[in-house]
Amino acid sequence: MTDSDAALAANLEFYRAFATRDVAAMDALWARRAPVACLHPGWAALKDRDDMIQHLTDTNAQLEAAIHAARVRGTRPGRPPAIASDALDPVLRSVQSCFDEWDERLHVTRDEISEATLVVRLTVTPDGFGTMPRIASTPDQHPVVAGDDQAPALSSLELCVSAAVVRVRYPPSTEELDVEVTAHWSDGSVRMSPKVVDHHPVTLRRIELP
């Protein structure tokens, strides 16, 4: 695994911890000796580790309060909200780069491929945060190893695209949504489309603070 792959994998683990509001797991992912920083658009950078952990704790508390408020409001029967394709525009260039690098690697290992489709399924919280990305369909091959019952590791393309789509801020709703994001690469260009495939009433999760 390259340094880039390791960084993407750590990034996904952080978002999984964030999705379950596990502050201890997020704390474990932040370096204790190397310099660290936390950046949010429009905010001043946080460079003190203790301040960053406190910020995550406060953010989790705000998310918990928002989920509780959504439960109090209740959910309305009917179809879940649709998500417009332009919601993915902020990460389109990143996903394009993921496929460009993937295509360059393929030129070295096998014949040229003119098109490919990758589908990432994720859970979107009522506040619009994408969490728990998993691969629903991939152009990459994962050979089955006899006697190995573990799920295959994600490829570089799968890691790269998953890390991009989980950064999107999706439209808020009163329910948790299961969303499939399809990235179709053809003749060097990427088109992306989201689709809500399921929705669930919000369930409160307990926060265990360190």
114-144 pLDDT, tens digit each: 889 999 999 999 889 999 999 999 998 865 5
C-beta separation of 161 from 95 below 8 A: yes
The top-scoring range by mean pLDDT among 29-33, 110-114, 202-206 is: 29-33
The pLDDT, as a whole number, for residue 202 is 72
Percent of the chain exceeding pLDDT 90 equals 31
> To the nearest whole number, what is the mean pLDDT of the chain?
80
pLDDT above 70 (res 58): yes
The pLDDT, as a whole number, for residue 206 is 46
16-50 pLDDT, tens digit each: 887 777 888 888 887 787 788 777 666 677 788 88
- Mean pLDDT, range 158-184, rounded to an integer: 92
Rounded to 5 degrees, what angle do the CA atoms 136, 14, 69 make? 85
The pLDDT, as a whole number, for residue 124 is 93
* Location of structure tokens 């499939």: 180
C-beta separation of 157 from 140 below 8 A: yes
* Location of structure tokens 């399921």: 198
The pLDDT, as a whole number, for residue 153 is 78
139: left (phi over 0), alpha (psi -120 to 50) or beta: alpha
Q: Which positions ≥6 away from 16 have C-beta within 8 Å?
A: 25, 131, 132
Render the burial of 66-100: b for 16+ CB within 10 Å, e for the rest. Answer: ebeebeeeebeeeebbebeeebbeebbeebbebbe
Cα–Cα distances (Å) from 91 to 71, 118, 171, 177, 184, in that order, read: 31, 15, 15, 20, 14
The pLDDT, as a whole number, for residue 168 is 93
Q: Find how far residue 135's CA is from the centre of its chain.
A: 11
The pLDDT, as a whole number, for residue 76 is 52
74: left (phi over 0), alpha (psi -120 to 50) or beta: left
Range of weakest confidence among 4-8, 71-75, 197-201: 71-75
pLDDT above 50 (res 209): no
The top-scoring range by mean pLDDT among 23-27, 57-61, 106-110, 199-203 is: 23-27
The pLDDT, as a whole number, for residue 113 is 76
63-73 pLDDT, tens digit each: 777 766 666 55
C-beta separation of 194 from 89 below 8 A: no
pLDDT above 60 (res 198): yes
Alpha-carbon span 24 to 186, nearest angstrom = 42
C-beta separation of 102 from 157 below 8 A: yes
Range of weakest confidence among 19-23, 147-151, 204-208: 204-208
